[in-house]
Amino acid sequence: MTRLLPRPSHRAALTAAAATVMVSVSDASAAAHVEATAEGARAGAGPVVIAFTVEAESSTAGIVGVKTQLPAGLPPSSVSLASGPDGWVLTPTSDGYEVAGPAIATGVDAEFGITIAKLPADAAPETPFKTLVRYSDGTEDAWIELPTADSPEPANPAPAITVAPAAAPSAPTTTPLSPSVSPTA
């Protein structure tokens, strides 16, 4: 019995195709995360609206909540819900807030916005918001890792917003003094 094997060129093409599929699959899981954006965010300024997009990673459960740790200098009382899925509410926690409500359909991303009254004057240029994503089956995804010199692109990065430096204080305006007029007798 003669066994037919693919020619070497076909084997190489099949191996390359399989490798591409494997890389694509691994890239998809590595790319899944929580995004945060804030148009015009400036240290010491406010109010600032931060838009969050939470990618749905579970194939069997919907997102039911997102718990976020606020950066230093931001009290939970300074945060309010700007927009979110129907029925979701914001609840302050000891170190941040949680936005939660009825489960979003399986495979659907959660999108919501928060308003921060005022950013701290010393807010970092890349201000992180460590985040836990809760699913209806009780599982959680933690997006809490910060970049370091040893790991500039962590596997589960915390979402971060870009913050411009605080505006330079304006110089006080001075009004030229009029020469004093002394009364003559």
Q: What is the pTM of this model?
A: 0.75
pLDDT tens per residue across span 126-149:
999 999 999 999 999 999 999 999
Quick one: pLDDT band at residue 167, thresholds 50, 70, 90? confident
Buried b (16+ CB within 10 A) or exposed e, 93-110: eeebbbbbbebbeeeeeb
How far is residue 76 CA from its own chain's centroid? Answer: 17
